[in-house]
Amino acid sequence: MRQAIPFCVFAALAIAVQMITALTGTDYFLTQITMSGWYALVVMGLCMLMGYAGQISIGHAAFFAIGGYTAAVLTTMNLLPCKNGAFVKLLSGMGMTIAGTNSWGTDILYLSPWLSLIAAVLISVFTAWIIGIPVLRLKGHYLAMATLGFGTIIYRIALGTPLFGGADGLSDVPPFRLFAGLVIDGSRTHRLAGYYCAMAMILVVIVMLSNLVNSRAGRALRAIHGNEEAAQAMGIDTARYKLNLFVLSAVIAAIAGVFMTHYNGGIGPAEAGVMKSIRYVAIVAVGGMANLWGTLVAGMVLNFLSLRGYFGSFDDAVFGAVLILMMVFAPNGILVKRRKRQ
């Protein structure tokens, strides 16, 4: 039962924040809190990879963008011209298409966001798997540079391909109707639904990851962080554990990307940029590397401040400075738990 306390506190806090904003008439804060929530999902996945398994990735924004762009491309594609094609008919028959009008008033028929979510997960699993096998064999600078290179490739592809809208990105992404009343989009009427969806998603992910940390797999990952050769000598299949974790964190990032894209109604190439990836690394560093709750708190706070524009024109500089200061003065994080000696 004691393990459940932090999760209950989190849920209570999420409700309390919503109450407070509603009572003080500042419920516009919820929009940025929700967006911070989606970003926090990415950093929690990255925290597992960096903090627990000790594998740096400076390319996680790429997975976020893969999710976001998959959702954006699939749900803005107009299927109306090929309405009578066998495949589209089959999808419509299964209830997997949605008819509507876009913001220019044109009638469109688009794929269900559920289908695009599944596609995003599959594509991110595939990409992470293909990239992960060779990349995770590398160590240190090589791993950092290889993931940075992968991130840059995805950024360049997003920027240079007409399908992905080039520098403008894609907009006019339809809302994601999860269940009857639960809609994820940027409108004011659905702000509350979006907020609680984000918080629920965070809760699910952190419960899942906490369980992972305290399982056999979690212990194996910490052994890999400590000393990979020793872990291997103990009979841990280090390559498999690292790869599975890499894929898991990529999928979490892609799902966050899908929801963020529906919430914002669009996505641009900046989401795939190197700076975004470095931000995620900075947040994990502030959270204390191997500390899921610390990372969650740091992710919510820093993203919220950044999205509200409190850093002004020093937005990126703040994250850079934070990185340096954390690594120089407190490489184990400021929110670090004093771990009992085993």
**Which residue number, 105 or 140, has a Cβ lying nearer to another protein?**
140
DSSP 8-state assignment for residue 323: H
172 vs 103: CA distance, rounded Å: 7
The token pair at 270 is 């900046």
Task: Quote the least distance from Cβ 161 to another protein, whole Å.
Answer: 9
**Which residue number, 184 or 223, has a Cβ lying nearer to another protein?**
223
**Which residue number, 37 or 51, has a Cβ lying nearer to another protein?**
51
H or E stretch covering 207: helix 191-213
130 vs 317: CA distance, rounded Å: 33
**Which residue number, 11 or 157, has a Cβ lying nearer to another protein?**
157
Under 8 Å between Cβ of 64 and 253: yes
**Which residue number, 59 or 218, has a Cβ lying nearer to another protein?**
59
Task: Quote the least distance from Cβ 146 to another protein, whole Å.
Answer: 5
Task: Quote the least distance from Cβ 137 to another protein, whole Å.
Answer: 8
**Which residue number, 125 or 153, has a Cβ lying nearer to another protein?**
153
Give the DSSP per-residue string, 113-182.
Answer: HHHHHHHHHHHHHHHHHHHHHHHTT--HHHHHHHHHHHHHHHHHHHHH-GGGTGGG-EE-PPPEE-SSS-
Contact residues toward another protein (CB under 8 A) are 54, 56, 58, 134-135, 137-142, 144-146, 148-150, 152-153, 156-157, 159-160, 274-275, 278, 281-282, 285, 313-314, 316-317, 319-324, 326-328, 331
Task: Quote the least distance from Cβ 145 to another protein, whole Å.
Answer: 5
DSSP 8-state assignment for residue 285: H
**Which residue number, 7 or 126, has a Cβ lying nearer to another protein?**
126
Q: What is the 3-state secondary structure (H, E, C) of 28-65?
A: CHHHHHHHHHHHHHHHHHHHHHHHHCCCCCCCHHHHHH
Task: Quote the least distance from Cβ 257 to another protein, whole Å.
Answer: 21
Task: Quote the least distance from Cβ 50 to another protein, whole Å.
Answer: 8
The burial class, CB within 10 Å (0-12 / 13-18 / 19+), for 28 is exposed
Task: Quote the least distance from Cβ 249 to another protein, whole Å.
Answer: 16
DSSP 8-state assignment for residue 340: P
